[in-house]
Amino acid sequence: MATPTELPSERVKQMFSWTTGETSPPSPMGDEKESKMSQIQFSVPFEKQESTMWQKRQQAVCVRHAFKHYGSKKRPNHVLSNLNMTVAKGTIYGLLGASGCGKTTLLSCIVGRRKLNSGEIWVLGGKPGTKGSGVPGKRVGYMPQEIALYGEFTIKETMMYFGWIFGMETREIAERLRFLLDFLDLPSENRMVKNLSGGQQRRVSFAVALMHDPELLILDEPTVGVDPLLRQSIWTHLVRITSSGDKTVIITTHYIEEARQAHCIGLMRSGRLLAEESPQALLTMYNCISLEDVFLKLSRKQGQSNQVVELNVSGGALGLNKLSKREEAPYAAEDAQVKGLNFHQSKEVLIIENGASSNGDLPGKMTEVMTTECEECTDCFNLSNITSRGKIKALIQKNFLRMWRNIGVMLFIFVLPVMQVILFCLAIGRDPSGLKLAIVNDDVKVINGDCPFNSSCSMKNLSCRYLHQLEEHTIKEYYADLTSALNAVKEGEAWGALYFNENYTDSLVARLALADTADNETIQTSEVQVWLDMSNQQIGLMLNRDIQFSYRDFAKDLLETCDYNPKLGDIPIDFMDPIYGNKNPSFTDFVAPGVILTIVFFLAVALTSSALIVERMEGLLDRSWVAGVSPGEILFSHVVTQFVVMCGQTALVLIFMISVFGVKNNGNIVFVIMLTLLQGLCGMCFGFVISAACELERNAIQLALGSFYPTLLLSGVIWPIEGMPWILRYVSLCLPLTLATTSLRSILTRGWPLTDPDVYMGFVSTLIWIALFLVVTLTILKFKRN
């Protein structure tokens, strides 16, 4: 591009006549810029020109009246304020500005990662994010400021991953990799990214952006941490790829002087472009010897006059306009000094190898003309679609590799569920044993714990015969008197005290003989008196049950040995064989179905809840999105990976529960497996919701952990929901684990088939929850992407 000093008078005249309508409009980029220069130099008042759709589409990037703020509408942080930018095709555009002035924000809007609050952006003839625009997608190569690489990948795997996402063939990727390794002086392709130095990692990140040879290369500080020689060779490469005219580069850098090699420089401050010129033009216009001085001059000027020299393209004519104070409100309080630029670094002298770049000439060439003015640009480009299979392959392989390379994750996936099952089966549901009972037996003299009795039809020492039945779970300790026995219970040395009075055997025989004619005293003295510590419900109820059942067994045994019908000793209720379960039901069998589902559900939640967050925080999600990966594809790849993991987890959990620890399964194992897998998927989808909703990993962990207990308590896993207040019962039914637990319990303990409502409702509710979670996740991801 011609610099102002080089502008021939004829050309200026031509431009002047264009503004007054004497000639047809010249080419958009060159003439807009030249018009601006002429306005500066010759103070010619330009009339407003409308920037046509045609003109906007001719540029590689065209930004008009861009406004962008972060934060709420009430307290917005304005980052872009009426910014206009024009990047011609086939040029290198250096975007310079102090730290925090909005460069990254502008770039993320250009690549379609963020949306403007108002204004418009045209990239390669289309609007980013619209169907068919190819942006985000493979038309753009984006190197974000952060490293944004998978640390556990080798350089080769990194290239394969992004190459497949861009739809490249493996062979093509390998060839490109060889070139990039050599060009960027990278170490062996088998080195892990996390083991590379910071500078090497940045170069790998740069290589990823170059990988697919995109039409538009957007580089956010690519030369940070790169030595001067390599930095120069990067610039030389950029100049080379743009020289053909069909590749464009936008680059931000804090090394201001290196930007001399750009064809055009945009000086940005406080969300606007102060100038947009070729380096040579800037130096001449502001009479400076370095770009750094130009920037300082412009910034000081802006601060001193409290006016912004703004690139105003409203209506299409570029010009440096003075804004009124009112318009300048966002800047009024801002310090006039330049903030944060690394000026000390930019002093470095660079060897300009390429003449074309140093003299400021633009090698830009106008490519195909877009004549249709379709806003959504659906049919504007006939791009070959990016192979979805390649993307899915890349995403799935990435998920597996990340898991495989992380020992902690592998242990979490396969060892933790087994440990949980083993601990559950060993620690929960077994009857307590070795419970001490303090016994005072005034009926029989007990010496050294020996309480003698005759097991034939004898009516002697019946207290000892009864105590013999009370063998299970208990340890009997004999005390001399009732006071010391009760003290033992009070002090926690025994769980209960049993007292037999001195006439116990005689009174019991009399009671049996006299039946309904027995007097109260006989009845009273024939009773065993029991004091239990009921502070522990499980132990108290079990001892209560054992003491009663032992009496029944003792009475039946006595009657039988004396040739009476033993049934006379039983209560007149006959409990037949249970229809489901057994006469002595196990708590383990009751809890096991819920525990199986809880383990699989929450392991999946834990595994996925931070998956997207970690990628998002490391900038990886952004990079994948800019490369054209959709939220749906990301979710799908996680679903596939998780499903494989869940198959392994389900197999381990069921094998240990059913085969090793003997939890009863009276139903069809296929339905047991299916329901467990579905619950795993449901947990995974819940994890996605958390992952999509939370910005920070710690919030995700808090939410996942926070949801664990309420779900466990309310889902009828450890206590029947019939015991809850009725409102809670309804809440419980609305949770993802409740109906599934009931369903699995019905299959395992009752052996019910899928046609039973109790069973199929578990499947139906799980499927509904999966769909709901997926919809919510996709909605959040899409919302956040916008």
Ligand X SMILES: Nc1ncnc2c1ncn2[C@@H]1O[C@H](COP(=O)(O)OP(=O)(O)OP(=O)(O)O)[C@@H](O)[C@H]1O
Which two tokens mark 392? 């899915």
Interface with ligand X, residue 97, by CB under 6 A:
yes
Minimal distance, residue 145 CB to ligand X, in Å:
5
Contact 754, 671 (CB under 8 A): yes
Of 294 and 539, CB closest to ligand X: 294
Of 114 and 391, CB closest to ligand X: 114
Minimal distance, residue 130 CB to ligand X, in Å:
23
Identified binder of ligand X from the candidate list 22, 48, 100, 329, rule CB under 6 A: 100
Minimal distance, residue 328 CB to ligand X, in Å:
18
For the chain, first and last CA: distance in Å?
37
How many residues touch ligand X under the rule CB under 6 A: the total is 12
Of 83 and 748, CB closest to ligand X: 83
Minimal distance, residue 373 CB to ligand X, in Å:
31
Chain centre distance of CA 134: 26
Stretch that binds ligand X, among 100-108, 411-419, 513-521, 775-783 (CB under 6 A): 100-108
Q: Which residue has the tokens 């207290």?
A: 463
Of 121 and 181, CB closest to ligand X: 121
Contact 588, 660 (CB under 8 A): no
Stretch that binds ligand X, among 93-101, 279-287, 411-419, 642-650 (CB under 6 A): 93-101
Stretch that binds ligand X, among 94-102, 224-232, 274-282, 576-584 (CB under 6 A): 94-102
Of 70 and 580, CB closest to ligand X: 70
Query: Distance (Å, rounded) from C-alpha 177 to C-alpha 183?
Result: 10
Stretch that binds ligand X, among 9-17, 25-33, 43-51, 97-105 (CB under 6 A): 97-105
Kind of pairing between the strands at 61-70 and 118-123: antiparallel
Minimal distance, residue 346 CB to ligand X, in Å:
13
Q: Which residue has the tokens 């064989």?
A: 577
CA 760 → CA 25, 514, 735, 774, 779, distances in Å? 72, 58, 16, 21, 29
CB-based burial label for 638 (10 Å; 0-12, 13-18, 19+): buried
Of 257 and 589, CB closest to ligand X: 257
CB-based burial label for 582 (10 Å; 0-12, 13-18, 19+): exposed
Stretch that binds ligand X, among 98-106, 123-131, 193-201, 373-381 (CB under 6 A): 98-106
DSSP code for 657: I
Contact 302, 324 (CB under 8 A): no
For the segment 63-82, give every residue that binds ligand X (CB under 6 A). 70, 77, 79
The C-alpha torsion from 737 through 743 and 746 to 747, rounded to 10°, is -110
Minimal distance, residue 228 CB to ligand X, in Å:
20
Given phi > 0 = left and psi -120 to 50 = alpha, else beta, which region is 203? Answer: alpha
For residue 463, the tally of other CB atoms under 10 A from its CB is 24
Kind of pairing between the strands at 272-277 and 264-269: antiparallel
Stretch that binds ligand X, among 102-110, 132-140, 198-206, 376-384 (CB under 6 A): 102-110
Minimal distance, residue 77 CB to ligand X, in Å:
6
Interface with ligand X, residue 786, by CB under 6 A:
no
CA angle 752, 756, 762 (to 5 degrees): 90
Query: Distance (Å, rounded) from C-alpha 347 to C-alpha 493?
Result: 84
Minimal distance, residue 250 CB to ligand X, in Å:
13
Of 81 and 105, CB closest to ligand X: 105
Query: Distance (Å, rounded) from C-alpha 540 to C-alpha 496?
Result: 9
Q: Where are the alpha helices (DSSP H) in 405-503?
A: 407-410, 416-427, 462-469, 482-490
For residue 546, the tally of other CB atoms under 10 A from its CB is 20
| Peptide bond just before 432 cis, omega within 30 deg | no
Query: Distance (Å, rounded) from C-alpha 217 to C-alpha 768?
Result: 44
Interface with ligand X, residue 101, by CB under 6 A:
yes
Of 70 and 549, CB closest to ligand X: 70
Of 145 and 641, CB closest to ligand X: 145
Of 340 and 662, CB closest to ligand X: 340
Of 168 and 249, CB closest to ligand X: 249
Of 100 and 757, CB closest to ligand X: 100
Stretch that binds ligand X, among 95-103, 165-173, 391-399, 516-524 (CB under 6 A): 95-103
Of 105 and 742, CB closest to ligand X: 105
Minimal distance, residue 163 CB to ligand X, in Å:
28
Question: What character string, x for contact with ligand X (CB under 6 A) and - otherwise, covers 130-169?
Answer: ---------------x------------------------
Minimal distance, residue 660 CB to ligand X, in Å:
51
Query: Distance (Å, rounded) from C-alpha 99 to C-alpha 585?
Result: 70
Minimal distance, residue 249 CB to ligand X, in Å:
17
Question: What character string, x for contact with ligand X (CB under 6 A) and - otherwise, covers 18-57?
Answer: ----------------------------------------
Minimal distance, residue 95 CB to ligand X, in Å:
9
Q: Can you give the binding site for ligand X, defined by CB under 6 A?
A: 70, 77, 79, 97, 99-105, 145
